[in-house]
Structure 1
């Protein structure tokens, strides 16, 4: 009688399956990469090998590559690996095989190609950006970047931001904080990431254009693409209640957006620039943005104790314009300039719209913009009163004359993002004043002949045929040969491009 087959799944020794318990106690970065974490504390072995910070309690963003502000991995090392180098076979133990009685060495299997750290890091950054939580509405994903992938090329751009571009924003004291903090925030805030990429590519375009216009145009186009994305995401964030965790990223984005807005000039020659070009709603957007930054400051409140910009913010708030006004003595102004700007012993920023801008410009006497003093020059843009900005919008010639002085100072400075607008629009303002008013001399004669002060809120000046100036057959204003001579001031400074001294001292 044949033996009945016995199923090995029913009888015989009991098969034991190795128990497996899925741990949920791994660190945030290992979960993000979907790899097993050994749960070593305070830093697991995988995070230590890849040079990234390790977080178990969720107090940091899901991905934190910036430990104290610098990348802890070599972003330019193409094929690095945290594992030990593969050992080579020893010559005395070379495997062989027999073929036709001949001893032929067997092929040695190529060592497994180590994973690219750069590719891994880029993948982690991309996953972190895609996993960024919505600012307010959990059903909305407009702030996310599913249609965009963070790549190794973007790692290179971030590296250039850290090592080069960030040092050109703000001054030498603020640059380290911007480098450390902004780089950290980009990994969990897509709107800031795109703004960082945009500004860095804009810097690339500035550096490349003199050597290769095609390469400069390529960088410029890529910069505008990231700027467009950053703006859309940023507007969405600002249109909803801002979570506390977003406040520092919001302020950082506002600061970079201000620099990018000043740096971007669409015109390529003065005739195409403001104020010579036809008026558009976007005119002076770079200046109007300063008001928007004040609103962002109030929302983000970088002076709060838990802000990573706390130290910088406190220094900025320590500046008191009232002290400048109290300490400033405008008696040094030549008589014709006092008359031109309506300066009297009773003049204050409250009753004379030109008073505070003149005070701020006089503080810049003898200075050339660089990384140490650039904030002093930016205060002119940030602190000039709204009424003075309105005078610029209606192209008041006296306001334009003061703006021209500021532009000329910036033109000779170091910060790259200030130079192009200062040159183009500065020359356009100069041409506009010469064409319609005969420059400073024509303005001075006109106000002297009027015999009255033009205070805040009065009607804008006529744009044609000012009193005291003649016109030639072409319609261009000429100089009155019989006019009195005036001490050298704004006009002589405008004509001498190499002289960046203060025109009112």
Structure 2
């Protein structure tokens, strides 16, 4: 059940990255030309080239993008002007420019993850207050807001903006520094909120702009399913911050977390559409131990017949939680059944969750093209794809 790409199919050659290139090019997964003091890619992207360790990652050249001021202590901070808006802690201070202030007013006072969820609106407003004392949370929040703004615009630009890259990078650097120290009680909610934002950013920002450049059509590299690793990294913090503790602002999301961790059946195919069960070789005696598709098929099936407006964030993550072990290996090896389960999940959840839609726009058609190109003889698979006999059943 784990067929691989036919041998006669030529593999696309992946560009070799320079080992001596600047950190900006490495972060952006590009080959650096190693020109000093500034490489051409950094100049064209509008950032300071950082061969030297004293230059921050993705530091904008333009002065009006709001450069962060890194300081050793509060005593060294310059007193802010009365009209300025700042986020700062004992290590860093960042003055928000006019665009960032506008985004706070327009987006960060509501919920960007699920806009109509009153619990998430409450959480987002609480996090906004914490962001002024935790720069890593402010940078992550601004990066998500900028990404959401890009999602709302038509036609949609596929490229990440300089501002998104800058805030994303700053948040990652600052959060990693914070995680190297003991986590205090006051930091638990900001850390969890930042980890969730970074997971959303990773998921909603595929490297490809077209289906032809996207996984699984493109050749394999170390970044396949990188969004899954980021989600698992976020969940690794669960026992450290415990979002359901009594004083956590995320406690109001208990129902969402309950959906995410709702148990799946231990045996059988109850709830799985007959055609899907047959394609996955599932029957009444199937379990997770004897069939790697068991949990993913059950997870996908829980949302297929729901109206789009009833698909919750918690329900979408039941499927991502099932991607591990043998099933994850099948996905990485482009197993056709595993790819189809991922396609069905994208096809359903992207209609209600905006950050899933951003990746699904390129990976859904890429999966379809791959399955049509390399598994066109598999009638059961083709029936689920657009134009197939089962394609409209869950639309």
| TM-score normalised by the chain length of structure 1 | 0.56
The answer as to whether partners of 2:189 and 2:241 remain within 8 angstroms in 1 is yes
Q: Is 1:224 aligned with 2:186?
A: no
- Point out the more displaced range, 167-176 or 413-422: 167-176
Q: Is 1:492 aligned with 2:383?
A: yes
One of 246, 270, 275 as aligned partner of 1:305: 246
Tell me how far apart the structure 2 counterparts of residues 399 and 494 of structure 1 sit (CA, whole Å): 14
Hey, what does 1:265 align to over in structure 2?
A: 206
The answer as to whether partners of 1:182 and 1:252 remain within 8 angstroms in 2 is yes
Following TM superposition, where does structure 1 have runs of at least 4 consecutive aligned residues deviating by more than 6 angstroms? none
One of 174, 186, 195 as aligned partner of 2:140: 195
The answer as to whether partners of 2:300 and 2:345 remain within 8 angstroms in 1 is yes
Tell me how far apart the structure 2 counterparts of residues 308 and 332 of structure 1 sit (CA, whole Å): 39
- Point out the more displaced range, 369-378 or 346-355: 369-378
Corresponding residue SS for 1:246? helix
Corresponding residue SS for 2:223? coil
* 1:85-121 CA-partner distances (Å, limit 9, x unpaired): xxxxxxxxxxxxxxxxxxxxxxxxxxxxxxxxx9736
* Closer/same/farther in 2, CA of residues 155 and 500 from structure 1, 3 Å limit: farther
Hey, what does 2:174 align to over in structure 1?
A: 233
Shift of 1:178: 2.3
One of 284, 288, 296 as aligned partner of 1:349: 288
* Closer/same/farther in 2, CA of residues 352 and 170 from structure 1, 3 Å limit: farther
Corresponding residue SS for 1:149? strand
One of 320, 326, 335 as aligned partner of 1:387: 326
Corresponding residue SS for 2:130? helix
Tell me how far apart the structure 1 counterparts of residues 211 and 106 of structure 2 sit (CA, whole Å): 31
Tell me how far apart the structure 1 counterparts of residues 272 and 308 of structure 2 sit (CA, whole Å): 26
Shift of 1:207: 2.2
* Closer/same/farther in 2, CA of residues 396 and 200 from structure 1, 3 Å limit: same
* 1:411-438 CA-partner distances (Å, limit 9, x unpaired): 4x14322213112111111111222221
Tell me how far apart the structure 1 counterparts of residues 268 and 281 of structure 2 sit (CA, whole Å): 20
Question: Number of residue pairs matched?
Answer: 315
* 1:24-44 CA-partner distances (Å, limit 9, x unpaired): xxxxxxxxxxxxxxxxxxxxx
* Closer/same/farther in 2, CA of residues 243 and 439 from structure 1, 3 Å limit: farther
In structure 2, list runs of 5 or more residues that go unmatched. 1-79
Tell me how far apart the structure 2 counterparts of residues 414 and 317 of structure 1 sit (CA, whole Å): 19
Tell me how far apart the structure 1 counterparts of residues 272 and 258 of structure 2 sit (CA, whole Å): 29
In structure 1, list runs of 5 or more residues that go unmatched. 1-117, 134-140, 445-489
Tell me how far apart the structure 2 counterparts of residues 386 and 189 of structure 1 sit (CA, whole Å): 36
Q: Is 1:289 aligned with 2:230?
A: yes
Tell me how far apart the structure 2 counterparts of residues 319 and 418 of structure 1 sit (CA, whole Å): 16
Hey, what does 1:247 align to over in structure 2?
A: 188
The answer as to whether partners of 1:275 and 1:432 remain within 8 angstroms in 2 is yes
* 1:198-244 CA-partner distances (Å, limit 9, x unpaired): 11111122223528x6xx96x82211111111111111112222122
Hey, what does 2:357 align to over in structure 1?
A: 419
Tell me how far apart the structure 2 counterparts of residues 439 and 293 of structure 1 sit (CA, whole Å): 40
Corresponding residue SS for 1:120? coil
One of 332, 341, 344 as aligned partner of 1:402: 341
Kindly name which structure, 1 or 2, has the bigger radius of gyration based on alpha carbons: 1
* Closer/same/farther in 2, CA of residues 393 and 273 from structure 1, 3 Å limit: same
Q: For CA contacts below 8 A with separation 6 or more, give which structure has more relative contact order.
A: 2
The answer as to whether partners of 1:287 and 1:381 remain within 8 angstroms in 2 is yes
Hey, what does 2:374 align to over in structure 1?
A: 436
Q: Is 1:149 aligned with 2:111?
A: no
Tell me how far apart the structure 2 counterparts of residues 121 and 440 of structure 1 sit (CA, whole Å): 64
Tell me how far apart the structure 1 counterparts of residues 357 and 370 of structure 2 sit (CA, whole Å): 20
Hey, what does 1:182 align to over in structure 2?
A: 127
Hey, what does 2:270 align to over in structure 1?
A: 329
* 1:392-412 CA-partner distances (Å, limit 9, x unpaired): 11222211111111122234x
